[in-house]
Each structure stands twice: as structure tokens, then as C-alpha cells.
Amino acid sequence: GQNIDQPTEMTATEGAIVQINCTYQTSGFNGLFWYQQHAGEAPTFLSYNVLDGLEEKGRFSSFLSRSKGYSYLLLKELQMKDSASYLCAVRDTDKLIFGTGTRLQVFP
């Protein structure tokens, strides 16, 4: 079967570091996306991992371990504007499967 798990909600403080985890079980795997979605807005592309390891892009980094079926999104130097939902999506053979998203709230 296909399954993607993310925590439902997380909270963090401005300036801190937060790690949002995503575990997946799929019949085929061709890569993993992270999207950011502010309340009432469209999801926007953040990162894509297809090989094991860490991809860094400014304050955001994404990690993938294919053998463990695991990814995380790391957000550093948190800002209030990072309050949003973060969606993990897995490329499974010929389809894209989305997780339910993690709602992150950043407090001052």
C-alpha cells in the first residue's frame, strides 16, 4: 500500500531551528518533494530530493534516506512568516502522493 506520515502540528520560537519529519511507504519511489502552503494560499515548491543526503537551500534544507523511507525538512533561523503548512509528497512510479501536511506555528 501507499502511506505517508507527517506530524499534524508543530510549534517553535522565532530564531530557532525546527525539523519536520516525513516517513513513507510506497510500492515505487522516484523522489520526494516538500511544499509550503500558507493559510488560504497555494502550495509552493520548496525542495526536491531523489538521492540520499542533504540538500541545502538558504535557511531551508531537506534530507532523504531511501533505505529508511524517511525525509525531513529543516528550517533554520525561524521567522514569523515561516508559519505555514508543510506538505511532503512522494513520487511513486507514475503518481504523486501527498501527505496530510504539518502545520507549523512560529511564536515570537
Partner 1 sequence: DVKVTQSSRYLVKRTGEKVFLECVQDMDHENMFWYRQDPGLGLRLIYFSYDVKMKEKGDIPEGYSVSREKKERFSLILESASTNQTSMYLCASSLGPRTDTQYFGPGTRLTVL
Should residue 100 be labelled a site residue for partner 1 when binding is judged by CB under 8 A?
yes
Q: Which stretch binds partner 1 (CB under 8 A): 15-23, 54-62, 68-76, 85-93?
A: 85-93
34-62: buried (b, 16+ CB within 10 Å) or exposed (e) per residue?
bbbeeeeeebeebbebeeeeeeeeeebbb
Told to check if 67 binds partner 1 by CB under 8 A, we report: no
Please give the Cα distance from 29 to 14 (Å, whole number).
Answer: 35
Provide the minimum distance between the beta carbon of 43 and partner 1 in the complex, in angstroms, as a whole number. 5
Q: Which of residues 17-46 bind partner 1 (CB under 8 A)?
A: 30-31, 33, 35, 40-45
- 99 three-class SS: coil
51 contributes a contact to partner 1 by CB under 8 A: no
Work out whether 107 is an interface residue with partner 1 (CB under 8 A).
no
